Each structure stands twice: as structure tokens, then as C-alpha cells.
């Protein structure tokens, strides 16, 4: 039987599709790579399934969409490749990832964009969209050929990793981006306030003697970019919002009608700067553990609470991982010298379900911000179980606990402060276009004999 | 100190452990007054002084301490950063371990570097100053000097003046003095004070008073500690001029009238006489700056002994 006509039935799970306000116990039927049905239990004979999985106790949701990850290819294949990064995505329940342009060389022209697209088609196991750089060489001086890049499939534009220091260039980028209708996605920080900083500025940094990165730097740049978006009519998507002040600025800009969306990462939603000093949920970490070094830095508890509030009230549209894999050598050094970044694709769901367990977020909201929320930000035709849509589906067990062991990651990046921590919620299976790209042994054992053979 | 492998900062020292170091330093000071200043406690042990930052007094102090205990001492000064040398810090220290170092005394320009090293080697690591973070042996010798003078630490008012933000001496002294029950006041211009308020989940400095007005800070002080002012702070735009800093924050005889009459003046060195401290104050009978240096050897002997020499008897 060809994959095109394969009929897969996921039975008796908790079907959650925030795009359609669906949350019930029922079935999802995938036919020929598309969603055929998602709703109350089907008569199994009617489903005429070739494969049936018993999803009792599991959540069936649209595959997750990550607006922000670093796949490092081309150029930094020791950190990650499209092959390993997309496998990590599949294990994390992500069916679509958007790859950042700060590769080596950066994705600033059409041939490089096509290289990523072709490599992803050949080696990726989930859908990959590439961003393109805002400026040539990420140098912050000349715009890339944005119209051509957008026509070739660049999903958005970002110099992520480096803030765009020049207000003149940022204004031009936002204005020019109206030609192609794709958003500009800035990494907001003031380069002078950021310079030399390694963690959040505050009492923990004061205790550790590390140079702080003040929240005010992010907030000043968010304020500038919101003003420039209003001035130009360009679309702005603010990457990895991390401070209370930035949430407040975005909330007020949205109320004024500025075309802005925003994302927050699981680590900024769940962790604080105390983790740099060794705080952990369970046990104690080492102070100066470089796996906690990330940009923007892990912030204060007040910032974390503001991000959660922003997620709940819609100020923040999406949860994005900012998956930033690094090699051991990049991180096995003094804190000041270590690379910024957390490998996040494989721990995102478990981190977020901890917030659900502690009553800080609802499961429905988490799924919304991983599916239809990000789909809308970049205008992607995914993120829902609406019949007719591509069969991008995640099945996860919201109860199973597991201990994070980075040596077992599919990602090459083992840089996570969550090593050794117990997370609740494990991805059991991931389908992309109806194709099973990841499953646990437990899920494989849930396959039951098809009732009707055709 | 029993069971302790490393001395990285005083934040994880109990009051009893600090007292143990100070008591042991008393015994070590007696050794240093003998005609032959040498005991065999660390014979056969190797102490490596690994200094990634220039230092004279701390390195010499450790060297004399180790030699007085009959240890073999190797001095390595890696001027410039390990990155410039092309060898990583971890590689350097693993090599020293393979060469048989029992104790690595380490100074590094980056906060936290000794923590990385301590995780990578079985040798004991003593932090001889890391970035802006900590200088625990300086704090211990300061505690020793104050205790020697007053007979106690608890209840004293200790005012630390100057560039608190960038000072590892200030941070370690905050831990040490508060742990033994002193009241600590940090005083300096706003651009050189760290942010101390806010939620930390218990990972911040212990509570201290912070103030920008030196005259007010000095009221009733028992101990006044001036910190070295690096001239690069002015270049970085944190101070308008040295002149204005001196006018507001120099420890002068005039200002010391506000302290308790018996107050002592300390300085971790090296001094910028005429900047953070007036020359006549540095040389006055209130100054214990030279005792600090002398006591440094005894305190470092005590630490070396407690970390390695005593371990054979456990």
C-alpha cells in the first residue's frame, strides 16, 4: 500500500486543537498524509484504518511549530546539522521549525537559502523554513535582497544573535519589508548596554561578580523597534522577549494597533537567573554552570511572572525554543568565555508541562502557543487538526515523568541546565504529513490490529 | 574544614569553619616568629601557584606560606588569558594535575573560573582571586587582623568604601564579616555599587547596608576598609574625574573623626595613596595595612595545612 493512501487511526486520546477550541476524548484519522477526521470516537469499521494506535491517556494535538531555532548548517556542523536538529525537533513534538539565518556564512542571499532548503528536503525529518538575514553578513549595514529572498521562500528576516544597532537600517528594513509582506524579527538589545555582559543584571549577578545585562537594554530596543514599526507600517515579530518591561511595551503597542507579534522561550518562562548560581528544581547545580548562559539571559522571577501574564493575555503570541546547540568545547570554559545558548527542542514540552503542573499555565494555552499561535505569526498553513490540513500531529503522554539526560539527545547540543532534572510529559509520537518521524517503544506497543482489512 | 576539598569563597563556610582557620592561623603565626620558620607539615606535597593575572603580594604570600610548611612550590604566571596562549584553562589544569599537583592556588580574571577548575581536578583548589567575584584568603586575613585587634568580630560596624561593584575583596568580606556577626556597610558612588535588591531564591549576598554618603557611613564605624580604585573606571565613564572621587570618597583623617575613636583602617593593597586613602592615614597608627600583609602568610599556611597537611590524620 502506498503512503499516499495509508489510513492511520489514533484512538481514544484527548484530542486538543486550540485553533478549533476542540478538547475532547476521541479519535484522529490521518489519510494519505492529511487530517481526515478529528473529533468524537469513530466507529472503527467506518475508519477503515490500516494502522490503529490506542491513544488512551495520551494527548493528540497539532504538531508543534517552532519559530526560532538554530540548526547551524551550513558552517557549524559540529554544533548541529539539519539532520540532527530536525530529529531533535521530532523528538520534541515539533513538525515545523524555522531556522535562523546566523549560520556561517549567514543566509543572506538566494543560493544560501536554497542550500538550506535543499538540505532540509534531503536530510530533514520535519518541515524546515529558513529565515534570511536582514543585513548582508549580519553586519547591520546593508539590507539583503529581501524581495528576492522572500520570493524564494524566506519565511521572515532576522539578524538574530546580534541586535541591529543602527536605527536607520532598522527603519529601512521595516519599510522595505512591506514589499514582501514578511516580518522582521529583531533580537532586541542595546549593544552598548549588552557589551561584556554574561547574565541578567541584578542581585544574583552582583553576588557572582558577573557583568550584568540589564533588562533596560532589551526594553530600550523594543521601544525603538515598536516606534519604527509604527512609523513604517512594517511587520515586527520580537524574538525571545525576556523582560517585564518589554512585555508591557508590546502590550501597549498592540493596543495602539502596531503590527507586532512576540514570542517567549520555555527557558525564560520557567527558569530564572538564580539558576546561574546553582538553583535547580531538584538538588543543587554548580554555580557558573555555563549551560545557563543564554542571550537574552535568564531573568528575574518578576520578569518570568510578567512573561507568563503576557502569554495568558495574548501579548505573547507564541512559544519558541531558541534552540541553540553548542559543542562541549564551546561551553567547557569560564562563564565569560562560554557561548550563549541552550539546546531546547527536546525539553520544551516537559518544561512547559511543569508550568501546567504548577498551575501557572493551562495545557490548552501551552498547546495553542506551540501550534496555531506560531502558525499565525508567520502565516503558516499548519497548527490545527482541521480536516484537509497536512497530517502534522504530536501525541504525548502528559503524565509520564523522565529525567533529562543530554547524552541521549538527538541534538548534538547537550547544553542544557535541565540535565538531571525530572520533567513531566513525554512526546510519544510525531507525524509529519502522516509519516511517523518519531515514536517511543511504548507508543509502538500501542499499535493494535486493524479491525477491518481492505 | 573537615572534608573540604576546595576554598572557592566564604559563602559556604560556617562560622565554626572560619573560626577554625583563624585559630589555626594563630599557631602558624607562632611558627613565623621562630628563628627557623619552617615545619614539615606539607613535606612531599606540591603546591602550584597558577596566576593568570599579575600579582605580587598574594602570590608571594602563598609561596612563603607553602614553603614554611615544606611543600614543593611551582609558580606559573600565565600572563594574558588562556585564550591568547591557545590552551584552554581546563587543559592547563589537567596537565598540572597529571604532573602531580596536590593544591592549585589560582588567580584568574574571570569570575567563577576556579569553580570550573575545581570540578575538573582532584587536587584542592584555593581561589586566590577570581574576577569581580571572590578573594576568600584576603577576607580571612582581614577577619584575622580585625579579630586580633578587637578580640571579636560580632557586633562591629565594618564600612567598605570604594569600587564595590568590581571588588572581589568586598564580596568575600561581606560573606566573612556577616557570617561572624558584624554589620557591614558598603559605600561608594552609585556607578560603582552593585544592585543588591530583589528576589534571588537565596542566591544573593547576605543583607548589608548600602550608602553613597561616606560621612554618614563612617558614623560609629569600628573598621574602615578602603578599596583600590582602578583608573580604568574613569575611562569607562563610571566616574567624571579622579578629583571628584577623591573629594567625595577618600579616607582622610578629617573624615575618620566620625568613626568610633578606636577605629582601624584597612586596605587590601596595592594602595593608590592620595586617591582612595590619604597618605597620612595609610601611615597613621590607625592603619593595620602592614599587619594585614603579615597575617596573610599565617592565614594561607592555615588553609594549606587544613586542606592537605591535616588530611592525613583524618
Interchain contact A302–B (C-beta under 8 A): yes
In three state form, how does the secondary structure of A219-275 look? HHHHHHHHHHHHHHCCCEEECCCCCHHHHHHHHHHHHHCCCEEEEECHHHHHCCHHH
Residues from chain B that touch A302, judged by Cβ atoms under 8 A, are 198-199
**Segment among A12-26, A140-154, A381-395, A437-451 with least mean pLDDT:** A437-451
Q: What CA–CA distance (Å, rounded) separates B51 from A374? A: 50
Q: What CA–CA distance (Å, rounded) separates A144 from A135? A: 5
Q: What is the number of CB-based contacts under 8 A between chain A and chain B?
A: 97
User: What is the structure's pLDDT at A451?
Assistant: 54
User: What is the structure's pLDDT at B84?
Assistant: 53
Contacts of A224 (CB under 8 A, 6+ apart): A167, A170
What is the arithmetic mean of pLDDT over A359-371? 98
Backbone torsion region of residue A156, taken as left when φ is above 0, otherwise alpha when ψ lies between -120 and 50, otherwise beta: beta
Q: Do A204 and B83 touch (CB under 8 A)?
A: no
Let me know the angle formed at the C-alpha of A91 by A90 and A93, rounded to the nearest 5 degrees.
65
Q: Do B110 and A203 touch (CB under 8 A)?
A: no
Pairing of strands A64-69, A94-99: parallel
Interchain contact A298–B (C-beta under 8 A): no
Active site (annotated) includes residue A322: yes
Contacts of B216 (CB under 8 A, 6+ apart): none
User: Which of these is catalytic: A322, A330, A392, A397?
Assistant: A322
In three state form, how does the secondary structure of chain A look? CCHHHCEEEEEEEEEEEHHHCEEEEEEEEEECCEEEEEECCCCHHHHCCCEEEECCCCEEEECEEEEEECCCCCCCCCCCCHHHHHHHHHHCCEEEEEECCCCCCCCCCHHHHHHHHHHHHHHCCCEEEECECCEHHHCCCCECCHHHHHHCCCCCECCCCCCCCCHHHHHHHHHHHHHCCCCECCCCCCHHHHCCCCEECCHHHHHHCCCEECHHHHHHHHHHHHHHHHHHCCCEEECCCCCHHHHHHHHHHHHHCCCEEEEECHHHHHCCHHHHHCECCCCECCCCCHHHCCCCCCCCHHHHHHHHHHHHCCCCCEECCCECCCCHHHHCCCCCCCCCCECCCCCHHHHHHHHHHCCCCCHHHHHHHHCHHHHHHHCCCCCCCCCCCECCEEEEEEEEEEECCHHHCCCCCCCCCCCCCEEEEEEEEEEECCEEEEECHHHHCCEECCCCCC
Q: Do A337 and B110 touch (CB under 8 A)?
A: yes
pLDDT digit string, tens, across residues B235-277: 889 999 999 999 999 999 999 999 999 999 999 999 999 999 9
Q: Do A337 and B111 touch (CB under 8 A)?
A: no
User: In this structure, how many other beta carbons lie within 10 angstroms of the beta carbon of residue A449?
Assistant: 7
How much of chain A exceeds pLDDT 70, in percent?
98
Q: Do A274 and B202 touch (CB under 8 A)?
A: yes
Q: Do B112 and A332 touch (CB under 8 A)?
A: no
How big, in percent rounded to 5, are the helix, strand and coil portions of chain B?
Answer: 40, 15, 40
Q: Is the pLDDT of residue A314 over 60?
A: yes
Report helix, strand or coil for B100. Answer: coil
**Segment among A44-48, A285-289, B292-296 with least mean pLDDT:** A44-48
- Global pTM reads 0.95
Interchain contact A288–B (C-beta under 8 A): yes
Q: What CA–CA distance (Å, rounded) separates B287 from A451? A: 93
Strand partners, A26: A13
Q: Is the pLDDT of residue B299 over 60?
A: yes
Residues from chain B that touch A337, judged by Cβ atoms under 8 A, are 83, 110
What is the arithmetic mean of pLDDT over A189-218? 96
Q: How confident is the model at residue A46 (pLDDT cuts 50, 70, 90)?
A: confident
Cell of A246: 518589554
CA–centroid distance for A446 within its chain: 28
Residues from chain B that touch A207, judged by Cβ atoms under 8 A, are 171, 200, 203-205
Q: Is the pLDDT of residue B11 over 60?
A: yes
Contacts of A2 (CB under 8 A, 6+ apart): none
Q: Do B198 and A278 touch (CB under 8 A)?
A: no
- Residue boundaries of the structural domains of chain A: 63-383
Please check whether residue B299 is in contact with residue B271, taking contact to mean a CB–CB distance below 8 angstroms: no
What is the arithmetic mean of pLDDT over A332-340? 95
Q: H or E segment at B83?
A: helix B82-85
pLDDT digit string, tens, across residues B190-228: 999 999 999 899 999 999 999 999 999 999 999 999 999
Q: Do A337 and B83 touch (CB under 8 A)?
A: yes
Residues from chain B that touch A208, judged by Cβ atoms under 8 A, are 111-112, 133
User: What is the structure's pLDDT at B312?
Assistant: 44
Backbone torsion region of residue A404, taken as left when φ is above 0, otherwise alpha when ψ lies between -120 and 50, otherwise beta: beta
Q: How confident is the model at residue B310 (pLDDT cuts 50, 70, 90)?
A: low
Query: B-side interface with A, Cβ within 8 Å?
Result: 83, 88-90, 108, 110-113, 115-116, 119, 130-134, 165, 168, 171, 194-205
CA end-to-end distance (rounded Å), chain A: 10
Q: Do B195 and A202 touch (CB under 8 A)?
A: yes
Nearest C-alpha neighbor of B210 from the set B183, B234, B238: B183
Q: How confident is the model at residue B311 (pLDDT cuts 50, 70, 90)?
A: very low
pLDDT digit string, tens, across residues A119-142: 999 999 999 999 999 999 999 999
What is the arithmetic mean of pLDDT over A436-441? 98
**Distance (Å) from the C-alpha of residue A297 to the closest C-alpha of chain B?**
15
Q: Would you identify the CATH topology of the domain A63-383? A: TIM Barrel (3.20.20)
Q: Do A203 and B111 touch (CB under 8 A)?
A: no
Interchain contact A300–B (C-beta under 8 A): yes
Q: Do domains B15-135+293-313 and B136-289 have the same CATH topology?
A: yes
Q: How confident is the model at residue A450 (pLDDT cuts 50, 70, 90)?
A: low
Cell of A389: 490540513
> DSSP characters for B274-291?
TTTB-HHHHTSTTB-HHH
Residues from chain B that touch A206, judged by Cβ atoms under 8 A, are 165, 194-196, 204-205
Q: What are phi and psi of B7, to 5 degrees?
A: -125, 100
Q: What average pLDDT is seen over chain A?
A: 96
Residues from chain B that touch A286, judged by Cβ atoms under 8 A, are 115, 119
Residues from chain B that touch A211, judged by Cβ atoms under 8 A, are 132
Q: What CA–CA distance (Å, rounded) separates A438 from B7? A: 47
Interchain contact A206–B (C-beta under 8 A): yes
Interchain contact A204–B (C-beta under 8 A): yes
Q: How confident is the model at residue B37 (pLDDT cuts 50, 70, 90)?
A: very high
**Distance (Å) from the C-alpha of residue A416 to the closest C-alpha of chain B?**
16
Please check whether residue A370 is in contact with residue A350, taking contact to mean a CB–CB distance below 8 angstroms: no
User: What is the structure's pLDDT at A47?
Assistant: 84
- Residue boundaries of the structural domains of chain B: 15-135+293-313, 136-289
| Domain made up of B15-135+293-313: CATH architecture | 3-Layer(aba) Sandwich (3.40)
| Domain made up of B136-289: CATH architecture | 3-Layer(aba) Sandwich (3.40)
Q: Which residue in this structure is represented by grid cell 621562630?
A: B34
Residue B89: closest C-alpha in chain A: A333
pLDDT digit string, tens, across residues A405-430: 999 999 999 999 999 999 999 999 99
Interchain contact A328–B (C-beta under 8 A): no
Q: What average pLDDT is seen over chain B?
A: 93
Q: Do A334 and B197 touch (CB under 8 A)?
A: no
Q: What CA–CA distance (Å, rounded) separates B157 from B221? A: 5
pLDDT digit string, tens, across residues B75-97: 988 765 444 556 788 888 888 88
**Better pLDDT: B311 or B108:** B108
**Distance (Å) from the C-alpha of residue B312 to the closest C-alpha of chain A?**
28
Name the residue facing B203 among A209, A277, A336 (closest C-beta).
A277
Amino acid at each position: 500500500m502506498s503512503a499516499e493512501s495509508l489510513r492511520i487511526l489514533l484512538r481514544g486520546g484527548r484530542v486538543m486543537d486550540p485553533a478549533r477550541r476542540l478538547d475532547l476524548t476521541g479519535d484522529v484519522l490521518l489519510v494519505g498524509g492529511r487530517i481526515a477526521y478529528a473529533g468524537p470516537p469513530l466507529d472503527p469499521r467506518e475508519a477503515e484504518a490500516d494502522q490503529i494506535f490506542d491513544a488512551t491517556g495520551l494527548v493528540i494535538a497539532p504538531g508543534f511549530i517552532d519559530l526560532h531555532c538554530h540548526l547551524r548548517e551550513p558552517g557549524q556542523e559540529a554544533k548541529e546539522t539539519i539532520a540532527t536538529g530536525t530529529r531533535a525537533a521530532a523528538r520534541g513534538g515539533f513538525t515545523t521549525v524555522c531556522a535562523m539565518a546566523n549560520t556561517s556564512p549567514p543566509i543572506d542571499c538566494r543560493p544560501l537559502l536554497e542550500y538550506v532548503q535543499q538540505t532540509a528536503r534531503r536530510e530533514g525529518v520535519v518541515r524546515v523554513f529558513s529565515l534570511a538575514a536582514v543585513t548582508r553578513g549580519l553586519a547591520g549595514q546593508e539590507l539583503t535582497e529581501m524581495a528576492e529572498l522572500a520570493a524564494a521562500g524566506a519565511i521572515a528576516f532576522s539578524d538574530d544573535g546580534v541586535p541591529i544597532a543602527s536605527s536607520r537600517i532598522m527603519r529601512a528594513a521595516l519599510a522595505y519589508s512591506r514589499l514582501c509582506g514578511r516580518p522582521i524579527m529583531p533580537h532586541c538589545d542595546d549593544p552598548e548596554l549588552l557589551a561584556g555582559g554574561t547574565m541578567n543584571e541584578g542581585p544574583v549577578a552582583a553576588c557572582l561578580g558577573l557583568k550584568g545585562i540589564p533588562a533596560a537594554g532589551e526594553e530600550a530596543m523594543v521601544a525603538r523597534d515598536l516606534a519604527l514599526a509604527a512609523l513604517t507600517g512594517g511587520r515586527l515579530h520580537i524574538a525571545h522577549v525576556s523582560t517585564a518591561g518589554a512585555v508591557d511595551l508590546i502590550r501597549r503597542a498592540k493596543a495602539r494597533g502596531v503590527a507586532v507579534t512576540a514570542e517567549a522561550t520555555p527557558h525564560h518562562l520557567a527558569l530564572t537567573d538564580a539558576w546561574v548560581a546553582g538553583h535547580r528544581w531538584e538538588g543543587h547545580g554548580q554555580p557558573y554552570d555555563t549551560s545557563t548562559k543564554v542571550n537574552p539571559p535568564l531573568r528575574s522571577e518578576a520578569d518570568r511572572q510578567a512573561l507568563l501574564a503576557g502569554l495568558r493575555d495574548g501579548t505573547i503570541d507564541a512559544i519558541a525554543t531558541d534552540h541553540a546547540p553548542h559543542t562541549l568545547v564551546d561551553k567547557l570554559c569560564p562563564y565569560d568565555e562560554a557561548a550563549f545558548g541552550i539546546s531546547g527542542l527536546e525539553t520544551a514540552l516537559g518544561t512547559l508541562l511543569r508550568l501546567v503542573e504548577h498551575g501557572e499555565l493551562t495545557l490548552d494555552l501551552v498547546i495553542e502557543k506551540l501550534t496555531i499561535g506560531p502558525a499565525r505569526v508567520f502565516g503558516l498553513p499548519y497548527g490545527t487538526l482541521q480536516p484537509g490540513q497536512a497530517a502534522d500531529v504530536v501525541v504525548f503522554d502528559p503524565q509520564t515523568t523522565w529525567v533529562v539526560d543530554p547524552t541521549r539527545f538527538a541534538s548534538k547540543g547537550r547544553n542544557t541546565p535541565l540535565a538531571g532534572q525530572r520533567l513531566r510529559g513525554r512526546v510519544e509520537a510525531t507525524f509529519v504529513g502522516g509519516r511517523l518521524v518519531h515514536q517511543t517503544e511504548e507508543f509502538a506497543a500501542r499499535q493494535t490490529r486493524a479491525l477491518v482489512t481492505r | 574544614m573537615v572534608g573540604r576539598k576546595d576554598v572557592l569563597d566564604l559563602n559556604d563556610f560556617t562560622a565554626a569553619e572560619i573560626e577554625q582557620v583563624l585559630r589555626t592561623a594563630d599557631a602558624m603565626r607562632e611558627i613565623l616568629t621562630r628563628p627557623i620558620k619552617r615545619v614539615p607539615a606539607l613535606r612531599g606535597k606540591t603546591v602550584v601557584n597558577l596566576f593568570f593575572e599579575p600579582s605580587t603580594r598574594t602570590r608571594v604570600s602563598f609561596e612563603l606560606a607553602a614553603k614554611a610548611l615544606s611543600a614543593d612550590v611551582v609558580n606559573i604566571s600565565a600572563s594574558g588569558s588562556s585564550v591568547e596562549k591557545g590552551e584552554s584553562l581546563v587543559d592547563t589544569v589537567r596537565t598540572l594535575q597529571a604532573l602531580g599537583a596536590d593544591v592549585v592556588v589560582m588567580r584568574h580574571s574571570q569570575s567563577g573560573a576556579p569553580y570550573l577548575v575545581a570540578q575538573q581536578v582532584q587536587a584542592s583548589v584555593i581561589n586566590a582571586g577570581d574576577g569581580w567575584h571572590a578573594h576568600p584568603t584576603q577576607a580571612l586575613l582581614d577577619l584575622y587582623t580585625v579579630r586580633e585587634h578587637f578580640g571579636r568580630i560580632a557586633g562591629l560596624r565594618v564600612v567598605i568604601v570604594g569600587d564595590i561593584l568590581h571588588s572581589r575583596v568586598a564580596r568575600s568580606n561581606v560573606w566573612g564579616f556577616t557570617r561572624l556577626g558584624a554589620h557591614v556597610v558598603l559605600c561608594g558612588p552609585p556607578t560603582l555599587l552593585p544592585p543588591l535588591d530583589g528576589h534571588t531564591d537565596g542566591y544573593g549576598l547576605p543583607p548589608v547596608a548600602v550608602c553613597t554618603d561616606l560621612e554618614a557611613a563612617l558614623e560609629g564605624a569600628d573598621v574602615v576598609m578602603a578599596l583600590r580604585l582602578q583608573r580604568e573606571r574613569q575611562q569607562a565613564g563610571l566616574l567624571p574625574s579622579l578629583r571628584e572621587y577623591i573629594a567625595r570618597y577618600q579616607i582622610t583623617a578629617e573624615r575618620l573623626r566620625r568613626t568610633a575613636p578606636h577605629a582601624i583602617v584597612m586596605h587590601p593593597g596595592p594602595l593608590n595613596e592620595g586617591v582612595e586613602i590619604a597618605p597620612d592615614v595609610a601611615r597613621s597608627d590607625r592603619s593595620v595595612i602592614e599587619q594585614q600583609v603579615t597575617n596573610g602568610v599565617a592565614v594561607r599556611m592555615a588553609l594549606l595545612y587544613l586542606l592537605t597537611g591535616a588530611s592525613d590524620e583524618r
